[in-house]
Structure 1
Amino acid sequence: MRALAAAGAVTMATCALFAVPARAAVADEGMERLFTFKDPKITESSGLAVSPTHKGIYYTHNDSAASPTFYAVDGKGRTRATFQVQGAQARDWEAMAATKDPATGQATLWFADIGDNLNGAWPDISIYRVVEPQTLKDATLPATRYRFRYADGGRNAEGIMINPRTGRLYVVSKEFAGSVYAAPKKLRTDKTNVLRKVAVAPLMATDAAYAPDGSSYVVRTYFSATIYSSSGKMITRVSMPELKQAESIAYTADGKSLLTGSEGAQSPVYRVTIPAAARPATTPSPTSAAPQTPAQDAGAASRAAVDAGATGLSIKDILIWVAAAATAVGTITFIARRTR
């Protein structure tokens, strides 16, 4: 129990360091507050996704210590329906994704129970697949559960994304040197699926999402968002509004903007315009191009670990990273001495 308390204290100290005060309703040019969650039950919005079939509807769910519940919210922040995921656990739900199956066209929602503040304490993690409800009415929905483990050992993660061209699932770890992990092409329910590293990710990634046309993906951190080509090459960084604890990221349906949210009661969701050069070239059409996946050329992983540009870091970010590392080490040392 002392070890668990120590780990929790370290996590809280690190998160507190990265968190910044909320800003006014209208942020910088290209940023606008889209809505604020009005439901008092939405207190730790950790995942965010745009409905593939219900126009103007957004999905979210709470963080750890919550029930396996998600909410359908309209463009004014009002909850239109509350859904329970049958037979699911919510140990630490950290992310979600929404897409249409490229083979069947079926709208699908994914919920990721992937948080692990002990960085590898859980023997496996779970991600649930739910068919998107056709009507916005409170209901309990069946789910398919997939178990996963990392090929290179357990870790904490807060981001998932689905390539709309291939339907392949990716998990993005939340670490000082994060990574993008690819799931097998075909997921199995009768065995644990293995996640394998395919690309680097920015410092302390809190969420990720694929563009609607599958040509690029974005990774959110406490500081900003970084857009990558589907091959894993950095395209650009996008400034984000300052939020209390930036937790979520999603693309708008047209792929021209990003949506980002925060934890906290009555938390806001912002829409941020993507620079023109980083937007999809055409109207989203997931099946119109050949499949691609995040990947690195030989030796890129080791180079990226020290290449600030490749991981979307500025000098300010690096200084904050150093301060966070020092704080974490100091906290661990203090707690270890107190709990001997």
Structure 2
Amino acid sequence: MSVQFLGALYLLGELCCSSVSLQTKVLATPHFLPGTPLGHVNALDETSGLCASRVHPNILYAHNDKGDGPTIYALSALDGELKKTIRIHGAHNYDWEDIACGPCDENGGHCIYIGDTGDHAGDGARNIIYKVREPVTLNKHGDITLDVEALIRFIWSPQQQDSETLMVDPQRNLYLISKVADGEGRVGMIASSAWNASSLPIVSHLVTLPLSTGSDDPTGGDISPDGQEILIQTHHQIFYWHTHDSVGIKETFLESPVGVSFHHEKDAEAVAWDADGRGYFTVSEGHHKNLYYYTRQ
């Protein structure tokens, strides 16, 4: 079963100078079962980001919003229980808003990307992305400390005050989406080459999300491990895009998304594909919140 969507012509006109003919695009409709509650997340009280480990089976990494230290938490993807507290040496949590798991660099390995991109005090976001390598083991006694392997400071053009969505694709490109009224967030990209650049990368406006949510959105997102599927979370819904071999993520976001299963709870901010792309997880801010899993049908 498929659903047809008209190409967003007015957005294409903003992105390119040549004329573009109106085309009908087909977006596959995914089927995910309603969310199954797996257990409660008690280690965090303001879960703002979530991603699935590529090294440790059935492990999710999560972090608190503003107010916590530079700490991420390894949670069981089976029941939400805390498995390990991980301190990030060389980082500061001004307002961490999202986390992404993906490849480290051209030499391989798996990394965790942490976005200090929020603006909780109204004086501007810090606009920093930290990169740390996943721990080799989670079986050590006591907390684990990871060093920041690298960080990127960036600037938006045009300026954006707040972003709660950080994603990474298999080519190690980073994607940020600003949080704005009615969900029409601006998508920007930081190329993987920026880690070796000597100047601050400028996050240019690639495309505006074709959403109308009635709230300040989006609050989170994730790209599937194979780079073929995208989830964007808002306060009341999760939207899904499927990429095509012939187009990139920018062009994908020009298409109208489809809504997928979401067990709505207040202050929903964290969504993540599982490590195999078979389904996804959500959890909301607050203490003793349910971890939900949505399996592909």
**TM-score, normalised by the number of residues in structure 2:** 0.77
In the alignment, the residues of structure 1 paired with residue 199 and residue 147 of structure 2 have an alpha-carbon distance, to the nearest angstrom, of 20
In the alignment, the residues of structure 1 paired with residue 169 and residue 125 of structure 2 have an alpha-carbon distance, to the nearest angstrom, of 26
Partner in structure 2 of residue 298 of structure 1: none
In the alignment, the residues of structure 1 paired with residue 80 and residue 295 of structure 2 have an alpha-carbon distance, to the nearest angstrom, of 20
In the alignment, the residues of structure 1 paired with residue 49 and residue 126 of structure 2 have an alpha-carbon distance, to the nearest angstrom, of 20
Q: 37, 42, 45: which is aligned to 1:38? A: 42
The answer on whether the counterparts of 2:94 and 2:126 sit within 8 Å (CA) in structure 1 is no
CA RMSD of aligned residues (A): 2.0
The Cα of 1:209 is off from its aligned counterpart by: 0.5
Q: 77, 81, 84: which is aligned to 2:80? A: 77
Q: 1:225 to 1:52 in 2, by over 3 A?
A: same
Partner in structure 2 of residue 241 of structure 1: 263
Q: Secondary structure at the match of 1:94?
A: strand
Q: 1:102 to 1:88 in 2, by over 3 A?
A: closer
Partner in structure 2 of residue 162 of structure 1: 168
The answer on whether the counterparts of 1:106 and 1:131 sit within 8 Å (CA) in structure 2 is yes
The Cα of 1:272 is off from its aligned counterpart by: 1.8
The Cα of 1:180 is off from its aligned counterpart by: 1.1
In the alignment, the residues of structure 2 paired with residue 111 and residue 49 of structure 1 have an alpha-carbon distance, to the nearest angstrom, of 10
The amino acid across from 1:115 in the alignment is: G
Partner in structure 1 of residue 107 of structure 2: 104
The Cα of 1:102 is off from its aligned counterpart by: 6.6
Q: 197, 206, 230: which is aligned to 1:198? A: 206
The amino acid across from 2:146 in the alignment is: L
Q: Secondary structure at the match of 1:186?
A: helix
The Cα of 1:187 is off from its aligned counterpart by: 1.7
The amino acid across from 1:197 in the alignment is: H
The Cα of 1:38 is off from its aligned counterpart by: 3.0
The amino acid across from 1:103 in the alignment is: E
In the alignment, the residues of structure 2 paired with residue 272 and residue 210 of structure 1 have an alpha-carbon distance, to the nearest angstrom, of 15
Partner in structure 2 of residue 20 of structure 1: none
The answer on whether the counterparts of 2:118 and 2:125 sit within 8 Å (CA) in structure 1 is no
Answer yes or no: is 1:175 the counterpart of 2:180. Answer: yes
The answer on whether the counterparts of 2:235 and 2:266 sit within 8 Å (CA) in structure 1 is no
Q: Secondary structure at the match of 1:106?
A: strand
Partner deviation per Cα, 1:135-156 (whole Å, 9 max, x = no partner) = 1132221112210110101321
- Matching of residues 36-75 of structure 1 within 5 Å: 36-39=40-43, 42-74=44-76, 75=78
The answer on whether the counterparts of 1:123 and 1:149 sit within 8 Å (CA) in structure 2 is no
Where has structure 1 moved over 6 Å in runs of 4 or more? none
Q: In proportion to residue count, which structure has more helix?
A: 1
Q: 1:128 to 1:31 in 2, by over 3 A?
A: same
Identity %: 29
Q: Secondary structure at the match of 1:213?
A: coil
- Matching of residues 129-144 of structure 1 within 5 Å: 129-136=131-138, 137=140, 138-143=143-148, 144=150
Q: In proportion to residue count, which structure has more strand?
A: 2
Partner in structure 2 of residue 153 of structure 1: 159
The answer on whether the counterparts of 1:227 and 1:234 sit within 8 Å (CA) in structure 2 is no
Where do 5+ consecutive residues of structure 2 fail to align?
1-31, 244-248
**TM-score, normalised by the number of residues in structure 1:** 0.67
Partner deviation per Cα, 1:27-72 (whole Å, 9 max, x = no partner) = x953201221133xx1111110111010011110100011000011
The answer on whether the counterparts of 1:184 and 1:195 sit within 8 Å (CA) in structure 2 is no
Number of aligned residues: 244
The Cα of 1:220 is off from its aligned counterpart by: 0.4
The Cα of 1:216 is off from its aligned counterpart by: 2.2
In the alignment, the residues of structure 1 paired with residue 113 and residue 192 of structure 2 have an alpha-carbon distance, to the nearest angstrom, of 16
Partner in structure 1 of residue 283 of structure 2: 261
Greater displacement, 121-130 / 72-81 = 121-130
Partner in structure 2 of residue 186 of structure 1: 193
Q: 109, 114, 117: which is aligned to 1:114? A: 117
Partner in structure 1 of residue 29 of structure 2: none
The amino acid across from 2:113 in the alignment is: W
Where do 5+ consecutive residues of structure 1 fail to align?
1-27, 277-340
The Cα of 1:254 is off from its aligned counterpart by: 2.3
Answer yes or no: is 1:93 the counterpart of 2:96. Answer: yes
